[in-house]
Structure 1
Amino acid sequence: MDYHIWLAYVVTAIVFSLAPGSGTVNSISNGINYGTRKSLMAIAGLQLGLLFHIVLVGAGIGAIVAKSAMAFTVIKWVGAFYLVWLGIQKWRDRSALTTQIEDKPLSAFSMLKTACFINLTNPKSIVFLVALFPQFIDPKGDQANQLLILGATTIIIDGMVMLGYTSLAAQMGRFIRSQKAMTRINKLFGSMFVGCAALLATAKA
């Protein structure tokens, strides 16, 4: 994989991970309730769920590339339009994150299992990865190697971002959860999604 393409993916993956979602809610909730150290297993669980989605998406994209270059191109453009649509939805989203304050502590395994299930049952992750991966894959290159690089990069970045959310929430969770703060965050990432889509579409034109 070309170094510049990988760097572009890193930036896009950071936006993907930073954008508030169910994984963010879980990380903030755990940070508030249990602190950073006790929440590490939950972060690992989120990545296990994400890994499952990456494997599914990677296998599907690989099969499509092998069968039809035209279908792959169509997926690329549909993905770019989806990023624009997602950006608009984020810009309009004025909801605040809602986290639950737990009275009873959970075991490390329970936190891992719960977090893994959260990502496994989040269809938005699969749709986003389907839209994202084709933008950075060269259909003439080694598919397995490219998907391995993209998948590993996604998991590492998302794990670091979730760790950051957890640590931040342990210190100042009440500010993160405010509606005013979340409205600003959603507008920021909505603009970033649209920007990523525009850059990707221009690069592939």
Structure 2
Amino acid sequence: MDGHLWLAFLAASIIISLTPGPGAVMTLSVGAQHGFAAAARAIAGLQLALLIQLAIIGAGLGAVLAASATAFLVLKVVGALYLVWLGIQKWRAVPHGLGSAPLARRQRLFTSGVLVNLTNPKAIVFIAALVPQFIRPGGSEWLQFTIIGATMVAVDVVVMSCYAGLAARIRPWLASVRVQRMQNRLFGGLFIGAGAALAASSNR
């Protein structure tokens, strides 16, 4: 991949990562509730899902998902329901002391991060439309995909880490039960809104 082409892709990756989405909502929510270390587990899960999405696109399945209304609908419904379920869980969460998440909870954060990104067919379709524009015929396709994947993951890790760090800095202001309840309902509403937006999306 030429230097100027990579810089163009880098710029596109930054814009994509900065655009608020379910991953950003999860990162901010976990960072505010449990701190940066816990949010890092969710971020790792988001990146694994991103790599899986790129592998799907590399295998040509992204085009199938874009073309098949049924496949897109099934994955969209699953993703939307999962986000709404996360939102309801967050909305109904009982406020408690701020601190590090228990071990079992930290392990679930990684899995939740994977599922939040992986069940978003709109992201797969979008990446499937974007990535081929930066693949040049005649070069090693897998090498180009490796560079693209490394760039997207690196950018997303930096952006999500900034979100997590920002959320962690405001944790001292969330000590009261009233503020924690407001925070739970804010992020619960954002998750539910993200699920509704996904449910209303199309593959066009």
> Shared fold (TM-score greater than 0.5)?
yes
Cα offset, 1:39, TM superposition: 1.6
1:35 is matched with 35
Q: Are the equivalent residues in 2 in contact too, given 1:57–1:126 (CA < 8 A)?
A: yes
Counterpart secondary structure, 1:20: coil
- Alignment correspondent of 2:174: none
Structure-1 residue corresponding to 2:9:
9
The answer on whether the counterparts of 2:62 and 2:128 sit within 8 Å (CA) in structure 1 is no
Instruction: Report the Cα distance in structure 2 between the residues aligned to 1:16 and 1:139, rounded to whole angstroms.
Output: 25
State the distance in 1 between where 2:10 and 2:61 align.
19
User: Larger deviation: 6-15 or 104-113?
Assistant: 104-113
- 1:4 maps to a residue whose letter is H
Task: Report percent identity of matched pairs.
Answer: 42
Q: Deviations over 1:49-104 (max 9, x none)?
A: 1111010012218999xxxxxxxxxxxxxxxxxxxxxxxxxxxxxxxxx8947547
TM-score (norm 1): 0.63
C-alpha distance in 2 between matches for 1:164 and 1:42: 13
* Cα separation, 2, equivalents of 1:169 and 1:141: 42
1:162-200 deviations in whole A, cap 9, x for unaligned?
11111112224899x99xxxxxxxxxxxxxxxxxxxxxx
What amino acid is the match of 1:5?
L
CA distance in 2, matches of 1:122, 1:17: 15
Report the equivalent of 2:134: 136
Q: Say whether the 8 Å CA contact 1:50–1:125 is kept in structure 2.
A: no
Q: Which amino acid aligns with 1:56?
A: I
Q: Give distance in 2, aligned partners of 1:138 and 1:61.
A: 19
Shift of 1:114: 0.9
1:166 is the counterpart of 2:164: yes
Q: Which runs of 4+ in 1 moved over 6 A?
A: 61-64
Distance across 2 between alignment mates of 1:26 and 1:11: 23
Pair 33,62 (structure 1): closer, same or farther in 2 beyond 3 Å: closer
How many residues of Structure 1 are paired with residues of Structure 2 in the alignment? 145
Check 1:62–1:52 CA distance in 2 against 1; reply closer, same or farther (3 A cut): closer
**So what's the TM-score if we normalise by structure 2?**
0.63
How large is the Cα RMSD of the aligned pairs? 3.0
CA contact (8 A) 2:38 2:109 kept: no
Once residues 145 and 62 of structure 1 are traced to their aligned partners in structure 2, the CA distance between those partners, rounded to angstroms, is: 19
- From 116, 119, 134, the equivalent of 1:118 is 116
Distance 1:142 1:63 in 2: 20
2:151 corresponds to 1:153:
yes
Instruction: Identify if the C-alpha distance between structure 1 residues 45 and 59 changes in structure 2 by more than 3 Å, giving closer, same or farther.
Output: same
Q: Deviations 1:93-148 (Å, cap 9, x if unpaired)?
A: xxxxx894754745221110111111111112101111110111112221111111
In 2, Cα distance between equivalents of 1:149 and 1:165: 24
The answer (yes or no) to whether the contact 1:43–1:162 under 8 Å persists in 2 is yes
The equivalent residue for 1:201 is none
Contact 1:29/1:169 (8 A) holds in 2: yes
CA shift at 1:13, angstroms?
A: 0.2
